[in-house]
Structure 1
């Protein structure tokens, strides 16, 4: 009998496990761009703990093991900035990234005090799998930013479906 993956809010004590998974997951990105000094590979644990305390993070667990995570926060302008969607390499291509993305969007759209008006995320220009996932979820590229000699970041956005619709009488 197999175990199912459950998605829940990350806890403060998950920080070290998330950081280790982040390090594993970003190896392929570092290789793709020839840069092993990218921020996800050099992020200190205290910085991750601060991100978890300031925003919202989700984890996917297979039993007790954290196999995926995503985090973000809503800015004052109502933009939910989603970051570091990571899935353990052995769990990729099974829809888990999409489930996590949907779950964090639902969270940010449902928070009455900070309801997101739009969602924004970014990925590298060569990260075709990421771009494909984000486009399939309704994200569209809105800008590009050269951040290094080999890396251009593609910034993608979509409007929140939780926004009310105006009806005419």
Structure 2
């Protein structure tokens, strides 16, 4: 019988596995854009640990191995910024990215200040764009970062929060 993938909050000791997975996962993005200086590929372990301290991070595990991860933080304007959704190449195309996206949205939607979800990806990253659109995200901005490389920002509103009437 095979192992199941479980999703949970990342622990401090997951930082090294997350960084290694991030480096592996962003190789295809770097190749797509011909740019191996993308921030996820140059991030240090100390920088990642600091980022994990500022955000809520989820990991997907297969046994003890971290096979996917995503981060989110809600800013003062009420935007839940979702970042670095990564899935190990051997685990792609099985719905794990969508499960992680749903889980991080559920977490962020529970934050009182959260009004919208926002994320970004490269304009040539068709798989990412397809996933985000299938989850209700719509493009709201495009910014050219370098010749031949633009970031597409996508957004969707958080679900309407139900407030219990007090008696």
Calculate the TM-score normalised by the size of structure 2.
0.95
Matches within 5 A, 1:16-95: 16-95=16-95
CA distance in structure 2 between the partners assigned to 1:140 and 1:127 by the alignment:
15
CA distance in structure 2 between the partners assigned to 1:52 and 1:103 by the alignment:
17
Matches within 5 A, 1:1-169: 1-112=1-112, 115-164=113-162
Task: State the shift of 1:163 in Å.
Answer: 3.5
Describe the SS at the equivalent of 2:148: coil
- 4+ residue segments displaced more than 3 Å: 162-165
Give yes or no for contact 1:117–1:163 (8 Å, CA) kept in 2: no
Give yes or no for contact 1:110–1:162 (8 Å, CA) kept in 2: no
Aligned length: 163
For structure 2, the 5+ residue unaligned runs are none
Task: State the shift of 1:148 in Å.
Answer: 1.1
For structure 1, the 5+ residue unaligned runs are none
Task: State the shift of 1:162 in Å.
Answer: 3.8
CA distance in structure 2 between the partners assigned to 1:61 and 1:31 by the alignment:
26
Calculate the TM-score normalised by the size of structure 1.
0.94
